[in-house]
Chain A
Amino acid sequence: MGKLFEVIKSGLATSVQDLGRTGFQQYGVVVSGAMDSFALQVANLLVGNLRDEAGLEVVIMGPELFVLEDTVLAICGADLSPKLDGKPVAGWKSFIAKKGQRLSFGQPQNGSYAYIAAAGGINTPPVMGSRSTYTKAGIGGFEGRHLQKGDRLEAGEVKFPLKHLSGRGLFEPAVPNYARQRKIRVVLGPDQHSFKDDVLKKFCTSTFKMTSQSDRMGYRLEGPELSHVNGADIISDAILPGAIQVPASGQPIILLADRQTTGGYARIATVVSSDLPYVVQKLSGSELEFQAVSVEKAQRLYVSRELLLRKLSLRAGNML
């Protein structure tokens, strides 16, 4: 345990996140956690942490952090032009940050959510088994809120010598390029019967635009109207990550980390887990297209991503 950062500038909405407060959804407890869980897990592995340690989630406009003790950091996810004492640092690669240095961010280049992992993890009191910040209920992370100027963060216990942890990177082909236009794969349903076949076809062949009414709870899209067979309302039912609700307006909403556990609008499709980062990293105004795949295909994608993370864990010398 040791000192880690003092916040000099807060950034737009910097928060402590891990993989979420799972296990309590049947009681209505919102999961939260990193919007891009792949990026957070890789960042953790690069600095010698377990995959589910807490890191800092940085959104579009990054914070400025004063380093209180020598540490090893990795920044994964969006490229928000990170700098150490004004010099650019590479993403998806671990590096030593010395006591007295300043980590800052510049212009967003690619994507919107970046994750800072520090050796030992960010140490805040866990709430219901998780350090994820859920600002709406004011729980988790640093006092249940976004970071503010003057906050001081601690790191957990560092298990390896720092010099062994720095200079590790994710191999190039595995680094996601969020800017590349690609279709977002979905499994149709669970409420595909609320829509006629031609509407499902329209959903899979049209271009949608992400609106500015988008946040950690969900991204609202704009596109051709998706009409329902029998109205938009369903008897309140479970909402899983990536579920795409269509309210009466016919404009879809993709539900993300801070989604409520239940909702009352028909769900036309659900984004496959491995493509969620490509949704999350979009900026308002960017375009999205969907492609329906079978459950079998979606699960093959899931398993291959999991294998990659397990391979990285082994290479990083971590227990799974």
Chain B
Amino acid sequence: MFQISAYGDAGLRVQFGETISKETNEKIRSFCMYLEKEKIPGVMEWIPTYTSVSIIYDPYQLLYDALKERVEAVENQLSKIDLPAAEVVKIPVLYGGEKGPDLEQVAQLNGLSEEEVISIHSGSDYLIYMMGFIPGFPYLGGMSEKIATPRLSTPRSAIPAGSVGIAGEQTGIYPLESPGGWQIIGQTPLKLYNPDQESPILLRAGNYIRFVPITSEEYHTIASEIEAGSYIRKY
């Protein structure tokens, strides 16, 4: 599938599939790679999602028909674009206790021990399908159904930044303190969103995440190293 449509007067949307799949994600990565390299004059930025890429452009420099023609010509080249190997970003997580108040409930509802939940959650890699919702938030795929848990019936008014949670069959990390109804099973000391850094966003669509369980001591060491600016990613 490769379907182009107008999105307002300054947007062009290309749809690559109708369901969430790794194949569609790969096409989307290739297409974004093309946009990155090609630097089409008038194209300002783009938003890749599960099944599409929306290009934002300046109609003063580039009209819809011209951009459409240019994009159409890319369809057959997509498979020839060399994708760099996906990176696996390791995210250290302190599971349970104060940092993961819902771990016990997730375990109970799924008939597992807390240790089993941790080992399942940290036992596989998660593809980052897209970023969105709030700055630095990754939409992840690939969580085991064995630890799927419904959202809290009453959302919390403030969940700390770095919280790792489960909502239905999805897992995710909160980049900012925000209200929410996810079951919080742990917290990472890493900052997914740090506007003061040269590269303010830690994660990229198309890469993978692997959660690595850490101890409370490790958590505090990493947190204070990050605070001091001396942290070197070792996971």
Contact = CB atoms under 8 A, between A and B. Distances in A.
B47 A242 contact: no
B50 A236 contact: yes
Interface in A233-257: 235-238, 240-243
B5 A235 contact: no
Given A189-B7, A302-B59, A26 B131 contact: yes
A240 B137 contact: no
Contacts of B235: none
Interface string B186-209: 000000010110001101110000
B128 to A, nearest CB: 11
A303 interface: yes
A23 interface: yes
Contacts of B59: 299, 302-303, 306
A270 to B, nearest CB: 3
A30 interface: yes
Interface string A284-320: 0000000000011011011100100000000000000
A22 B20 contact: no
Given A26-B46, A26-B205, A187-B6, A235 B20 contact: yes
Interface string B56-67: 100110011000
Contact of B9 (A24, A187, A236, A262): A187
Interface in B134-153: 134-137, 139
A185 to B, nearest CB: 9
A72 interface: no
B176 interface: yes
Interface in B1-38: 5-11, 13, 19-20, 32
Contact of B133 (A139, A190, A240, A262): A262
A29 interface: yes
B48 interface: yes
Given A128-B200, A299-B63, A238 B54 contact: yes
B87 to A, nearest CB: 15
B157 to A, nearest CB: 14
Contacts of B10: 240, 273, 302
B9 A301 contact: yes
A30 B131 CA distance: 11
Given A190-B13, A273-B8, A137 B50 contact: no
Contacts of A128: 195, 200
Nearest to B202: A27
Contacts of B195: 127-128, 137, 139
A271 B11 CA distance: 11
B11 to A, nearest CB: 5
Contacts of A273: 8-10
Contact of B134 (A25, A26, A237, A260): A260
A79 to B, nearest CB: 28
B132 interface: yes
Determine the main DSSP class of A at the interface with B. mixed
A301 B8 CA distance: 12
Interface size bracket, B side: 35 or more
Nearest to B60: A306
A28 B49 contact: no
Interface in A255-270: 260-262, 270
A317 B13 CA distance: 38
Nearest to A242: B8
Considering residues A189, A238, A260, which has the most beta carbons from chain B within 10 angstroms of its beta carbon?
A: A238
B44 interface: yes
B45 A270 contact: no
Interface string A116-137: 0000000000011000000011
A30 B204 CA distance: 16
Contacts of B163: none
Considering residues A295, A298, A301, which has the most beta carbons from chain B within 10 angstroms of its beta carbon?
A: A295
A24 B47 CA distance: 9
B132 to A, nearest CB: 3
B183 interface: no
B135 A272 contact: no
Contacts of A271: 8
Contacts of A242: 8
28 contacts: A26-B131, A27-B203, A28-B131, A28-B136, A29-B201, A30-B134, A127-B196, A136-B134, A187-B6, A189-B5, A190-B5, A190-B6, A235-B20, A235-B51, A236-B130, A237-B49, A238-B52, A240-B7, A240-B10, A241-B8, A243-B7, A261-B132, A262-B47, A262-B49, A270-B8, A270-B11, A299-B63, A299-B64
Q: Which 5 A-B pairs have the closest CB atoms?
A: A262-B132, A270-B8, A298-B9, A238-B54, A238-B47
Interface of A: 22-30, 127-128, 136-137, 139, 187, 189-190, 235-238, 240-243, 260-262, 270-273, 295-296, 298-299, 301-303, 306
Given A235-B51, A260-B132, A272-B8, 14 more contacts: A23-B45, A28-B131, A28-B137, A29-B136, A137-B176, A187-B8, A189-B7, A236-B50, A236-B130, A237-B52, A238-B7, A242-B8, A261-B131, A302-B60
